[in-house]
Amino acid sequence: MSIKTMKAIRFHDYGGPEQLILEDIPIPEPVAGEVLVKINTVAVNPWDWKFRSGKYKEGMQVKFPVIPGIEASGTVVMTGPGVTGFLSGQAVYGSMMASYAEYCVVSEQQLFLKPDPLSYEEAAAIPVASQTAWSSIIEIAGLRDNQRILIQGGAGSVGIFAIQIAKWKGAYVYTTGSTENLDFLRSQGADRVIDYKINRFESLVADVDVVLDTIGGETQERSWQVLRKGGILVSIVTPLSPDKGAKYGVRASYRNSGISKEGLIQIQNLVNDGTLRPVIRKILPLSEAGLAQAMSEKGHGRGKIILKV
Ligand SMILES: NC(=O)c1ccc[n+]([C@@H]2O[C@H](COP(=O)([O-])OP(=O)(O)OC[C@H]3O[C@@H](n4cnc5c(N)ncnc54)[C@H](OP(=O)(O)O)[C@@H]3O)[C@@H](O)[C@H]2O)c1
């Protein structure tokens, strides 16, 4: 390749959004099993600003400077030795670490071909949220048709996919959101939407089989009581107290990471046939990464913030 350097956002220490600096650095080279991707779009996740702020620094070995980013879309530039599934020029998306940059290397196992009808913006917004929703409500909770689920935070990136997946599964979906998102939540397929700014969900929902908690705090605390005996509360935000589960006669699970290979295939099929569709909240240039993370940190709004590279 003739170009040897690229623009990338990096932070050299933990701190606020001002730590994010646009720098010129060498383009990484793919080793065996890796693919070099020219990034078109990178999606912003709450993980990005939580990590940057130092929230996870205890027990984590981090080598600064760090390029943020955990999911993106782009085109294959070159492949490392042993890569058989991808060719230069193909449009791809997937979980991509260090993707707030013009180029990124990624294991071919993490990459998927971008379906034509999906824009690069949409594709970048799929991996983290769809996999989190799938593994939480299908693989951990085992949601079945005709069951009832309460999705806390339905307008969030994970919540949107959770609604779409639960409806595809044939479940009855309750979800919480703010006043301005109620019609949007209905448009995603939710059967009953609850304005969390006006109503207490526990006065309107009872005996559900599954609660997906994407909010934490007192929302999580108040969620135990709406489950039927033997139901399950899955949180993606904070670990749950087994004692609380025992007290209410329900199961409790914290989804941190991970998904089965079958899950990944199922998600691809649902993306390809249009069942799963991400929602983009805001598009900003890569140079506005600090603003994008500050917006994400507010914890409100509908769908994903993305950065065009
Ligand atoms: N464990 C894992 O594997 C994993 C994976 C991905 C994400 N996460 C975590 O899951 C959380 C959600 O992630 P995300 O990407 O979906 O975030 P997001 O896109 O920023 O969405 C957050 C949503 O929460 C809603 N909300 C805020 N307060 C609420 C309340 N009291 N009741 C109901 N809804 C409320 C907001 O909608 P309104 O505008 O309507 O308030 C917003 O749509 C984050 O903490 C993230 O770090 C964990």
**Tens digits of per-residue pLDDT, 6-44?**
999 999 999 999 999 999 999 999 999 999 999 999 999
* 214 CB within 6 A, ligand 1: yes
* 193 CB within 6 A, ligand 1: no
Atom of ligand 1 nearest to the CA of 135: 3
* 46 CB within 6 A, ligand 1: yes
Tell me the mean pLDDT in the region 185-196: 98
285 contact partners, CB below 8 Å, separation of at least 6? 307, 308
Atom of ligand 1 nearest to the CA of 301: 39
Pairing of strands 148-152, 208-213: parallel
Pairing of strands 227-235, 148-152: unpaired
Rounded Cα gap, residues 186 and 183, in angstroms: 5
157 CA distance to ligand 1 middle (Å):
7
**Tens digits of per-residue pLDDT, 139-151?**
999 999 999 999 9
* 164 CB within 6 A, ligand 1: no
Q: Which of 50, 280, 297, 300 to mutate to test the pocket of ligand 1 (most atoms within 8 A of CB)?
A: 300
Pairing of strands 91-95, 148-152: unpaired
* Beta carbons of 30 and 78 less than 8 angstroms apart: yes
* 136 CB within 6 A, ligand 1: no
* 239 CB within 6 A, ligand 1: no
* 281 CB within 6 A, ligand 1: no
152 CA distance to ligand 1 middle (Å):
8
Q: Over 90: is that where the pLDDT of 236 sits? A: yes
Q: 31 exposed, middle or buried (CB, 10 Å; 0-12, 13-18, 19+)?
A: exposed
Tell me the mean pLDDT in the region 277-300: 97
**Mean pLDDT taken over the chain:** 96
Q: 47 exposed, middle or buried (CB, 10 Å; 0-12, 13-18, 19+)?
A: middle
The b-or-e profile of 117-154 (16+ CB within 10 A means b, else e) is: ebebbbbbbbbbbbbbbbbbbbbbbebeeebbbbbbbb
What token pair was written down for 100?
A: 């707030």
Alpha carbon 229 to its chain centroid, in Å, reads 30
What token pair was written down for 168?
A: 């595809």
295 CA distance to ligand 1 middle (Å):
12
Atom of ligand 1 nearest to the CA of 136: 3
- pTM, 2 dp: 0.97
**Tens digits of per-residue pLDDT, 57-102?**
998 899 999 999 999 999 999 999 999 999 999 999 999 999 999 9
Go through the domains of the chain in sequence order and give each one's CATH number. 5-126+278-308 (3.90.180.10), 129-254 (3.40.50.720)
* 181 CB within 6 A, ligand 1: yes
* 218 CB within 6 A, ligand 1: no
Q: Over 90: is that where the pLDDT of 172 sits? A: yes
Nearest CA to ligand 1 atom 22: 156
DSSP code per residue over the chain = ----EEEEEEBSSS-SGGG-EEEEEEPP---TTEEEEEEEEEEE-HHHHHHHHTTT-TT----SSB---SEEEEEEEEE-TT--S--TT-EEEEE-TT-SBSEEEEEGGGEEEPPTTS-HHHHHTSHHHHHHHHIIIIIIS---TT-EEEEETTTSHHHHHHHHHHHHHT-EEEEEE-GGGHHHHHHTT-SEEEETTT--GGGT--SEEEEEESS-HHHHHTTGGGEEEEEEEEESSS---HHHHHHHT-EEEE--S---HHHHHHHHHHHHTTS----EEEEEEGGGHHHHHHHHHT--SSSEEEEE-
Rounded Cα gap, residues 84 and 159, in angstroms: 35
What token pair was written down for 256?
A: 């941190």
Atom of ligand 1 nearest to the CA of 180: 40
What token pair was written down for 11?
A: 């932070």
* Beta carbons of 278 and 129 less than 8 angstroms apart: yes
Reported confidence tier of residue 129, pLDDT bands at 50, 70, 90 = very high
Atom of ligand 1 nearest to the CA of 196: 32
